[in-house]
Chains A and B, each alone.
Chain A
Amino acid sequence: MSARSFRLWRGDAQGGRYADYQLEVQPGMVVLDAVLQIQRTTAPDLAVRWNCKAAKCGSCSAEVNGKPRLMCKTPLDMLPDDRPITVEPMRAFPIIRDLVTDVSWNYEVNKRIPPFTPKPDAVWSIGQEDVDRMAEFRKCIECFLCQDVCHVLRDHHLQSQYFGPRFMVRVASLEMHPLDTLDRTQLLSGEGGIGLCNITKCCTEVCPEHIKITDNAIIPLKERVVDSVYDPVPKLARALRKRLPLRIR
């Protein structure tokens, strides 16, 4: 047992302040454990989202010592003990209360992406290599830390022009499904705003699932957009490849 100091942002859409808390902590505790301990003992009205406590549900996103993190996946041991541990809400989204933000914009973006659409007579034979290519993108838990850190959204507030890294990952997972028949490149270059990403890789750095968002999702999608907008041959080749069953390829 040892004492640690915490500084939590408390407030709502009208404004707020930092509040300090002291807590006896146990070895192995993560930031979420500490925040929930504060909530149950000294701050019953602390608003915070949480659920799985195992880095699977993406609920407990926050900025810990200024860095976007999952609270449940951040051991106290890894944070310097010579100063308070600061926990703030994600700054790219409107505040609801305390550590809870309004992330509903993301869910609205999600609805604008056409879903998986196979051919009605598709032959359901898929190679493991195709599965492997998509697997990384399917790991996304929608914690929106990438959206939080993306400077297009966070600093330039271009939510109306760019879907953000999370949804580049989602489009990549759909586009790389071998049996999907849609082409979402027009969407990406238009309202998706993929051109606004200038590949600083901030999103990749904060991803708790270690998805190589920039290298494996955004850059290949940018290439596809260039191909389809400026050069029809690769687009045609890919369309053919998608439509052939595995055995013939």
Chain B
Amino acid sequence: MAASHDVLVVGAGLAGMRAAVEAVGLGADVALVSKVHPVRSHSGAAEGGINAALGNASPDSPEEHAYDTVKGSDYLGDQDAIEILCREAPGDVYQLENWGAVFSRTEDGRIAQRPFGAAGEPRTAFAADITGHVLVNVLYEQVVKRDIRVYEEVFVWKLVVEDGVCKGVICWDLLHGGLKAIAAKTVIVCTGGAGRLYVGTTNAYACTGDGMALALRAGVPLKDMEMMQFHPTTLAPSGVLITEACRGEGAYLLNADGERFLERYAPNAMELASRDVISRAAQTEIDEGRGVNGNVFLDLRHLGAENIFERLHGTRELAMTFVGVDPIEEPIPVRPGAHYHMGGIDVDVWGRTEVEGLYAAGECACVSVHGANRLGGNALMETITYGRRAGAHAADAAFGGTAAVVPASAIADAERELKTLLDRSDGERPWRIRDELGETMHENFGIFRREEQMIQQEEIVRGLRERYERVVVEDKGNLFNTDLTQALELGFLLELADCMVVAGLARKESRGAHARPYDYPDRDDANYMRHTMVRWVDGRPVLDWKPVAVTHWQPQERTY
């Protein structure tokens, strides 16, 4: 008897686990499937915190949180989705606390809140600088407590959609080898981001956009895929993240001359301007020769050793390990790196996609809460609030009816396709294609974008896709065959890159993370205050548009 569940959640990071916990609470038979053990998910790398208008540090309200988020999104966020997030966030944070999440405290014993970029009030709740890690462990405890089945180290390769309805997944078992089908009445995709499209990224190796590509292949459009956030402070060469909390605590960004260069870019907010603004500023300094070895500097020294030990201990550890710098003594060399995908699977405010029974939540989804630029601390909040909502709706939709079945033909097709790949012995190894993709995306589709570079990148990606058709997997074995899974991941990444470039070319303006200073330096609300939507038709991306939901806030000029 093949595995079958009411609700199957693909990906066991914060969004996935929150969705699973909610669905099981409503009485559904739920399982999680993940290519890594849940606590090893990339959600655990989130450092800074989670935004909710608790009002513990200063008077605050969900409306203010929503306004900051709308403005931060450069008016591309869907305001109905943002209002839901901001309204439900405080309750969700208290729920996490009741499950044992230990947040840092105020003097009178309440949850402390720190300032974060582009937030009007100190709104970011945090657990020192390991917030994501703490939340992942708390949610995993809830998953274990509820005895939720977890298919661990199982790589989801295909969604099974029959007659327009999602019936489950086909996956490769990393530990034992072999394809297997898991059927489900509803499937929630929570696979996170695709930072691995870029050579310099804060993202873990697992962040290969699997869920986005799965949904794309299942006929679902991807929204705002050109919107990739670059985090201003990452360590060269591998892109290890240095949290925004450093700047929240008062750290300075300096150029080679020791100048706080943000005075020239964001004179009011300075280091607490939004990420797109600061990344562009830092990259400009580097490009114009005011960096050192491709870096600017993050200076924590004036914060004092005690403060650094207490609130930024993890940051100090990372800097000492990866660049040999003790931030108590020296500034940390940092550069912008690919960090977060604002775009993703087009879903409604319940996480529903166009395909019946298929849902998405977290970074792989695009509700859209973040629009063209995400605020620090809003991603963790989105995983929780929209993970919960997707879990609730998917459980409800799975209620009653007969057990889902993956048709035998779908499994046979997958077996045949896999055999073709594994039988091939003459061709190119995947890693060169992967490296070229990462380097060219960085070069041609990075922080600043030029028309001719994007056109060139489109050709490069198409060329890489052709080469991928002849890719060779040399490991033919069953035990922990990452040669195979990395090749399959590369297939996902290539299709996503194609979608991104097509969307980027179509958006002839500068908005949030999509900066075209050379040909379209301004935001163009009349023509482009709308979402790009890319579908996969006959093996290539096809572009369309969708209006932005506006409730209260008309677009205004965005300065910090």
Residue numbers of A with Cβ under 8 A of B are: 12, 26, 28, 30, 33, 39-41, 44-45, 47-59, 73, 75, 96-98, 100, 107, 110-111, 115-116, 118, 124-128, 131, 134-135, 138-139, 141-142, 174, 177, 180, 246-247
Q: Known contacts being A44-B429, A54-B45, is A125 close to B109, with CB within 8 Å?
A: yes
B476: nearest chain-A partner, CB-CB: A45
Q: Known contacts being A45-B474, A115-B144, A125-B110, is A135 close to B44, with CB within 8 Å?
A: no
Q: Is the CB of A96 within 8 A of B175?
A: yes
Q: Is the CB of B109 within 8 A of A107?
A: no
Interface 1/0s, chain B 19-53, versus A by CB < 8 A?
00000000000000000110111101100000000
Q: Which listed residue, B39, B128, B138, B142, touches A135 by the CB 8 Å rule?
A: B128
User: What B residues does A50 contact at CB under 8 A?
Assistant: 205
For the A-B complex, the count of residue pairs with Cβ-Cβ distances under 8 Å equals 140
Q: Is the CB of A53 within 8 A of B102?
A: no
- Contact sample, A vs B, 16 pairs, CB 8 Å cutoff: A49-B480, A51-B40, A54-B322, A55-B318, A100-B480, A110-B144, A118-B98, A118-B100, A128-B105, A131-B105, A134-B102, A138-B102, A138-B137, A139-B130, A177-B100, A246-B109
7 tightest A-B CB contacts, nearest first: A116-B100, A125-B109, A45-B475, A47-B480, A40-B431, A44-B474, A97-B479
B308 to chain A, nearest CB (A): 15
Task: Identify which of B109, B142, B477 gathers the most chain A CB atoms within 10 Å of its CB.
Answer: B109
A196 to chain B, nearest CB (A): 24
Q: In chain B, residues 129-145, which have Cβ atoms closer than 8 Å to a Cβ of chain A?
A: 130, 133-134, 137-138, 141-142, 144-145
Question: Once the chains are docked, how many angstroms separate the CA of A45 from the CA of B241?
Answer: 30
Q: Is the CB of B474 within 8 A of A107?
A: no
Interface residue count for B (Cβ, 8 Å)?
59
Q: In this assembly, does B104 line the interface, its C-beta being within 8 Å of a C-beta of chain A?
A: yes
Q: Is the CB of B321 within 8 A of A55?
A: yes
Q: Is the CB of A115 within 8 A of B145?
A: yes
Given contacts A51-B42, A54-B240, A73-B321, 7 further A-B pairs with CB under 8 A are A28-B323, A44-B473, A48-B482, A51-B40, A53-B205, A54-B318, A55-B321
User: What B residues does A41 contact at CB under 8 A?
Assistant: 431
Q: Which listed residue, B40, B99, B238, touches A59 by the CB 8 Å rule?
A: B40
Q: In this assembly, does B469 line the interface, its C-beta being within 8 Å of a C-beta of chain A?
A: no
Question: Once the chains are docked, how many angstroms separate the CA of A12 from the CA of B175?
Answer: 12
Question: Once the chains are docked, how many angstroms separate the CA of A131 from the CA of B109?
Answer: 10
Q: In this assembly, does B237 line the interface, its C-beta being within 8 Å of a C-beta of chain A?
A: yes
Q: In this assembly, does B179 line the interface, its C-beta being within 8 Å of a C-beta of chain A?
A: no
Task: Identify which of B36, B137, B479 gathers the most chain A CB atoms within 10 Å of its CB.
Answer: B479
A248 to chain B, nearest CB (A): 12
Q: In this assembly, does B281 line the interface, its C-beta being within 8 Å of a C-beta of chain A?
A: no
The A interface, classified by DSSP as helix, strand, loop or mixed, is loop
Q: In this assembly, does B560 line the interface, its C-beta being within 8 Å of a C-beta of chain A?
A: no
B436 to chain A, nearest CB (A): 13
A57: nearest chain-B partner, CB-CB: B40
Q: Is the CB of A135 within 8 A of B102?
A: yes
B57 to chain A, nearest CB (A): 14
B403 to chain A, nearest CB (A): 27
User: What A residues does B98 contact at CB under 8 A?
Assistant: 118, 124
Q: Is the CB of A116 within 8 A of B141?
A: yes
Question: Once the chains are docked, how many angstroms separate the CA of A247 from the CA of B477?
Answer: 61
Q: In this assembly, does B127 line the interface, its C-beta being within 8 Å of a C-beta of chain A?
A: yes
Q: Is the CB of A54 within 8 A of B241?
A: yes
A135 to chain B, nearest CB (A): 6
Q: Is the CB of A111 within 8 A of B429?
A: no
Q: In this assembly, does B522 line the interface, its C-beta being within 8 Å of a C-beta of chain A?
A: no
Q: Which listed residue, B104, B110, B130, B204, touches A52 by the CB 8 Å rule?
A: B204
Q: In this assembly, does B206 line the interface, its C-beta being within 8 Å of a C-beta of chain A?
A: yes
B147: nearest chain-A partner, CB-CB: A111
Q: Which listed residue, A45, A53, A57, A98, touches B44 by the CB 8 Å rule?
A: A57
Question: Once the chains are docked, how many angstroms separate the CA of A45 from the CA of B237?
Answer: 26
Q: Is the CB of A126 within 8 A of B102?
A: yes
B238: nearest chain-A partner, CB-CB: A53
Task: Identify which of A48, A55, A118 gathers the most chain B CB atoms within 10 Å of its CB.
Answer: A55
Q: Which listed residue, B37, B39, B40, B104, touches A128 by the CB 8 Å rule?
A: B104
